[in-house]
Amino acid sequence: MPEDAVNKTPDAMTDFEKIEGTIGENLIHNPKFSTRNVDVFYDEKQAIFNASLDIGHNEVIALIGPSGCGKSTYLRSLNRMNDTIPSCRVTGDLTLDGENIYSKKMDPVLLRARVGMVFQKPNPFPKSIYDNVAYGPRLHGLARNNAEMDEIVITSLQRAGLYEEVKDRLNEPGTGLSGGQQQRLCIARTIAVSPEVILMDEPASALDPIATAIIEELIDELRENYTIAIVTHSMQQAARVSQRTAYFHLGKLVEVGETNQIFTNPRHELTENYITGKFG
Amino acid sequence: MNDDHAPHISGHISKRFDSELEDIRNKVLSMGGLVETQVKDGIRALMTSDSAVAERVGNDDYKINAMEVEIDEECVQILARRQPAASDLRLLVAILKTITDLERIGDQAEKLGRFELELIDEGSSSKEFVKLEHLGELVSRMLNRALDAFARMDVDVALKTIKKDEKVDKEFESLMRQLITIMMEDPRTIKQALRVSWCARALERIGDHSINICEYVVYLVHGKDVRHIAYDDLKDQIRDIV
């Protein structure tokens, strides 16, 4: 056990000790993503403890848990976003379609084209709306001519539910859009490179209910072709969009199950307390 | 609470949510108390042929109906405003179903009063035909145990009460046989004997509704729907969960 865990308050300590392995169906047949015994450290501090979780094809999995539980850290380890943090170290087996994503042969840039990410805070490039979406397809040479690029940009904006609002100002800067529009622009940018997996870290936390509903509808549509892992603090959102739900607490994966089961009859006391909004 | 698995109503970060759930639960318990009184009075009317009691049972049913509407409304408000999940959601679903059964038990009690009153008006009484005491005792005890199981979220009590259904069925069948015999022996009694059989039927239904409430208690505590399952299978399933 890491040093900081020993220094935790007695209550938190009890919770930490209460979690012995993962309850529920964390492993599945023929997964898209497979992660086994994943530990993540920031320098000496351990953020994830021995998490094993499979993510299926065409499935939306919701990762939930209180702040600091490791769900975002886990999500970021799935497309090696943690590589950008020098102190961060990931161990364990993480495979995408059976390929080790942490092998030397794996190019992180190509991996991130296959495993796209939408962040909590919208982060459009300081470029035009059009160029924001066209950036990825250009980088990866996905369009042979301008007409094809137009098609990709428009389709991506449409699927992100943004096109109608921006079709007359595609050459204006993306940063001039409202927060909700910027987030949908970022989703359009992610979709534009046709990823296999989309990771979403609180994608709708800054959006109004209508924009949120549009994003959730989009997630449902995208599921037909992609695998989606979404970190969310909104219980209702997790319940609405996902087929499976994984609950993280204090860096451990506590429980995984069908979303229906997790929200009506969770098996672990800590899951129950979190979902019903109770003190631990 | 006797059961380790029983969910805790309190402990929410929102204290108001705690008190809303506690309040609604208390209302269900007082509705249960009211229903119990009605059933006891209904049975008393049968036993004593007391037309005043019989009439009161008939007149008081509106109180139960009003409570059902009130609790229903509060449940809908909590569902809309709190979006409860897990044990909170199961509690509200169990309450919504329980009050439906309580209201129907109230209707059966009202029938006991009404039929007895009609018999009295015709110069007769149920006592002249068969003894309904035993069935009455059985089902009022079942109702009492069901409400107790609900109040304490006690699955053991709920399961024991579900088991009692066999006894009720046997007693009901026996009463029906007796009544049929009476009707065959003297067809002039058919009109009254039918009323008595409806009373027996109402009592038997009270037992059935009490069992439904016990099944909701199992759902509330274990998240397992045990309706329409043979008793022995039911016990096995509960054992699997525990």
Determine whether the interchain pair A277/B83 forms a contact, defined as Cβ–Cβ distance below 8 Å: no
Determine whether the interchain pair B86/A236 forms a contact, defined as Cβ–Cβ distance below 8 Å: no
Read off the pLDDT of each residue in B133-141 and give the average, rounded to a whole number: 96
The confidence score (pLDDT) of residue A7 equals 53
Q: How many beta carbons lie within 10 A of that of residue A229, not counting itself?
A: 28
Any idea which residue has 């009476």 for tokens? B182
A227 versus B5: the higher-pLDDT residue is A227
The confidence score (pLDDT) of residue A272 equals 94
Among the partner residues A235, A263, A279, nearest to B13 by beta-carbon distance: A279
| Whether the predicted pLDDT of A23 surpasses 70 | yes
Among the partner residues B85, B223, B224, nearest to A276 by beta-carbon distance: B85
Gap between the Cα atoms of B86 and A263, Å rounded: 5
Q: Is residue B3 part of a domain?
A: no
Gap between the Cα atoms of B114 and B55, Å rounded: 7
Nearest CA in chain A to B222: A265
Q: Which residues pair with B120 in a beta bridge?
A: none
Residues of A in contact with B11 (CB under 8 A): 273, 278-279
- How confident is the model over B10-26, as pLDDT tens digits? 889 999 999 999 999 99
Return the HEC string of B74-139.
HHHHHHHHHCCCHHHHHHHHHHHHHHHHHHHHHHHHHHHHHHHHHHHHCCCCHHHCCCCHHHHHHH
The two tokens of residue A81 are 């976003």
Find the distance separating the first CA and the last CA of chain B, reported in whole Å. 16
A179 pLDDT band, cuts 50/70/90, is confident
Rounded to whole angstroms, the maximal C-alpha distance in chain B is 69
Tell me which residue range forms the domain holding B200: 15-241
Spatial CB neighbours of A103, under 8 Å, sequence gap ≥ 6 = none
Gap between the Cα atoms of B205 and B175, Å rounded: 14
The confidence score (pLDDT) of residue B233 equals 83
Q: Is residue B200 part of a domain?
A: yes
Q: What is the CATH number of the domain that holds B80?
A: 1.20.58.220
Residue B14: in which H helix or E strand, if any? none
The two tokens of residue A35 are 């992660």
The two tokens of residue A90 are 């990931």
Determine whether the interchain pair B87/A276 forms a contact, defined as Cβ–Cβ distance below 8 Å: yes
Q: How far is B231 from chain A (nearest CA, A)?
A: 23
Residues of A in contact with B5 (CB under 8 A): none
Chain B touched by A235 (CB under 8 Å): yes
Read off the pLDDT of each residue in A58-64 and give the average, rounded to a whole number: 96
The confidence score (pLDDT) of residue A11 equals 58
Chain B touched by A275 (CB under 8 Å): yes
Query: What's the total number of domains in chain B?
Result: 1
| Whether the predicted pLDDT of B3 surpasses 60 | no
A214 pLDDT band, cuts 50/70/90, is confident
Determine whether the interchain pair A277/B13 forms a contact, defined as Cβ–Cβ distance below 8 Å: yes
The confidence score (pLDDT) of residue A5 equals 46
Gap between the Cα atoms of B82 and A229, Å rounded: 26
| Whether the predicted pLDDT of B188 surpasses 60 | yes
Q: How far is B161 from chain A (nearest CA, A)?
A: 24
Residues of A in contact with B17 (CB under 8 A): 277
The confidence score (pLDDT) of residue B242 equals 63
User: In this structure, what DSSP letter does residue B6 have?
Assistant: P
Determine whether the interchain pair A276/B12 forms a contact, defined as Cβ–Cβ distance below 8 Å: yes
Q: Is residue B6 part of a domain?
A: no
| CA dihedral of residues B39, B43, B48, B49 (deg, nearest 10) | 90
B33 pLDDT band, cuts 50/70/90, is very high
Which region holds residue B109: left if phi is over 0, alpha if psi is between -120 and 50, else beta? alpha
Read off the pLDDT of each residue in B186-210 and give the average, rounded to a whole number: 96
- How confident is the model over A24-43, as pLDDT tens digits? 999 999 999 999 999 999 99
Gap between the Cα atoms of A52 and A23, Å rounded: 11
Average confidence score pLDDT of chain A: 91
Q: Indicate the SS3 state at residue B144.
A: helix
| Whether the predicted pLDDT of B51 surpasses 80 | yes
Spatial CB neighbours of A111, under 8 Å, sequence gap ≥ 6 = A79, A80, A96, A101
The confidence score (pLDDT) of residue A93 equals 96
Among the partner residues A236, A239, A276, nearest to B88 by beta-carbon distance: A276
Q: Is residue B2 part of a domain?
A: no
The pairing of beta strand A197-201 with beta strand A88-96: unpaired
Q: How far is A204 from chain B (nearest CA, A)?
A: 19
The confidence score (pLDDT) of residue A106 equals 94
Q: Is residue B116 part of a domain?
A: yes
Residues of A in contact with B223 (CB under 8 A): 264-265
CA distances from B37 to A71, A203, B147, B212, B214 (A): 54, 55, 13, 19, 19
B2 pLDDT band, cuts 50/70/90, is very low
A115 neighbors A96 (Cβ within 8 angstroms): yes
The two tokens of residue A239 are 């319940």
Name which of A241, A121, A129, A242 is nearest A192 in CA terms. A129
Half-sphere exposure of A52 (CA within 13 A, CB side): 12
Gap between the Cα atoms of B109 and B63, Å rounded: 13
Share of chain B above pLDDT 70, in %: 97
Determine whether the interchain pair B86/A272 forms a contact, defined as Cβ–Cβ distance below 8 Å: yes
Transcribe chain A into DSSP letters: --HHHHTS-HHHHHHHHH--S-EE----SSEEEEEEEEEEEETTEEEEEEEEEEEETT-EEEEE-STTSSHHHHHHHTTTGGGGSTTEEEEEEEEETTEETTSTT--HHHHHHHEEEE-SS----SSBHHHHHHHHHHHTT--SSHHHHHHHHHHHHHHTT-HHHHTT-TTSBGGGS-HHHHHHHHHHHHHHT--SEEEEESTTTTS-HHHHHHHHHHHHHHTTT-EEEEE-S-HHHHHHH-SEEEEEETTEEEEEEEHHHHHH--SSHHHHHHHHTB--
Q: Is residue B5 part of a domain?
A: no
Gap between the Cα atoms of A45 and B241, Å rounded: 38
Q: Is residue B154 part of a domain?
A: yes
Nearest 5 degrees, angle CA B158-CA B161-CA B164? 155
Q: How far is B209 from chain A (nearest CA, A)?
A: 24
Name which of A45, A47, A28 is nearest A36 in CA terms. A28
Q: Is residue B10 part of a domain?
A: no
Among the partner residues A236, A276, A279, nearest to B86 by beta-carbon distance: A276
Q: How many beta carbons lie within 10 A of that of residue A269, not counting itself?
A: 14
A280 pLDDT band, cuts 50/70/90, is low
Read off the pLDDT of each residue in B205-227 and give the average, rounded to a whole number: 94
The two tokens of residue A204 are 């709708």
Gap between the Cα atoms of B70 and B27, Å rounded: 9
Transcribe B214-241 into DSSP letters: HHHHHHHHH----TT--HHHHHHHHHHH
Q: Considering only residues 119 to 178 of chain A, which have any Cβ-Cβ distance to chain B shorter than 8 Å?
A: none
Q: How far is B11 from chain A (nearest CA, A)?
A: 5
